Amino acid sequence: MNKLVIEGGVPLKGEITVQGAKNAVLPILAATVLSADECIIHNCPWLRDVEKTGVVLEKLGCMIKREASTLCVDTVGINSCRIDERLMREMRSSIIFLGAILARCGKAEVGMPGGCPIGLRPIDLHLKALRQMGAEIIEEHGYLRCSCKKLKGSCIHLDFPSVGATENIMLAAVTADGTTVITNAAREPEIIDLAIFLNKMGAGVRGAGSSCITIEGVDKLHGAEYRIMPDRIVAQTYLIAAMITGGEIVLRGAEPHHMQAGLSALSEMGAKIRADKGCIYLKSEKKIHSVRIIKTMPYPGFPTDIQSPFMALAAVADGTSVFVENIFENRFRHVDELIRMGADIKVEGRSAVVRGVKGLYGANVEAYELRGGASLVVAALAADGITTVSGTEFIDRGYENIERQLAFCGAKIKRVWT
C-alpha cells in the first residue's frame, strides 16, 4: 500500500508531455486479438489497467514484450478464449475483449465485469448487439458464455451512445460476414483511434467520430504498428492543477480539439489559454470565477471523466457553481473527501451545488475511484498544509506517475510506501 503526500500552496510552472490515452489503448490492445500476427503499439502508458490488460492477453496465449512506451503483442499462439472472473472484476473495460475473442475463436467465456464503483454501467447493449449478430449468449454463475460459428453483419441501433458497446460491436464486426451499421454510435476521439488502428490492420471501418459507423466485414486482419492518441482527460487534469495553484503550464503532445468543452469551461473560469495542434498553454489569473452550470454529456459534450477535478477547482472559485451528472449516478463519491478539506458542497440526487470558499486545508483523504482520486490530488495542490491521499491504486489506473509529472512542475508531492 502507498499514499500520496502533498504540501499545497505551490504554483505549478513547467511543461508536461501528455501520456497516451487510457481509454484508447485498452480497446486497441483488445483489437490485437483479431489478427494472428504481431502488433506494435507506441505511446502506451504504463498504468494499472494496461498492466491488467497485458495479463489478460497473456492468459489468452499471447506473447507480450514491453520496451519503454512501446508494447509488442504477438497473438499467433492464442490458445484460450476464457477470461476469469477475478480479472474481469478488477477492470470493467475488459468486457471489450468479448467481441474480439468471439470473432477470433468463435466462442468466448468471460466473467462479469467490475471496475471503479461509479455507478451502474450495464452491458445489456453489448449483449443485445452481439445477439443481433448471431451470437448465442448464456449468463450463468457469474460468467458470460458466448458462441457463434460466424458472426453476421447487422443494423444495430444503440439506445444510448455507449463507448464500450460501440467498441465491442466494431471489434466483433470487422471480420463478420457482410456489413454492420451502428446508429447512435459513440463519437469520442478514442472511437476514431480504434477505427484507424483497425483499418491499418486491414479492416473496413467508415464514419467513426459520427453517430453512424459502417463496418464492411473482411476475411482476416494482419498485424499493424500504431501510436496511441494523447489522453485528453489527463491533459485537462494537469491544466486544472495549474489553474487551481495560480500557475502556468505548457502541455506537449496534446490535442486541443479533443477537449473543447473543458477548455471552454476553463476560459469561463478565468484561465488564459493558447492552443495549437499538439500544444496547450495555460496561465492562471489571480481570481478563479465560478462556472454557472456543468452538465456531463456524451462527446462532444462535457465529459463525465473530468467532472470531479473541475469540482475541486470550483470549490475555491469566487461564486457558486452547479454540476449535473448525467452519465453515472454514483460519481460524487469524492464530495465527502473535498468537504473534509473545507469545501462547501451540497449534493441532491445527480446535482451538486458548489459554493466557493477562500481556501482549502490539508487533511487525510481517500480515493474511491479513478477520477475522484484525481480531484483530491488537484485540491491538495492548492490546500493550506499537508494532505495525504490514500487509495492510490485507483489513481494509478489512469495516471502514469502522477507525482513525478507534478513534481517536474514544482509541486511538493511524494509517494510514501506503508
Distance CA 256, CA 390 (A): 31
Distance CA 17, CA 186 (A): 27
Per DSSP, 121 falls in state -
Q: Which one of the listed residues 39, 81, 105, 116 is annotated catalytic?
A: 116
116 tagged catalytic: yes
Distance CA 151, CA 173 (A): 7
Residue whose grid cell is 504504463: 46
Tell me how far CA of residue 63 lies from CA of 33, 57, 74, 76, 404, in angstroms: 11, 8, 5, 8, 30
Residues near 190 by beta carbon (within 8 Å), at least 6 away in sequence: 21, 23, 24, 27, 163, 229
> Would you please indicate which residues are annotated as catalytic (active-site) residues?
116
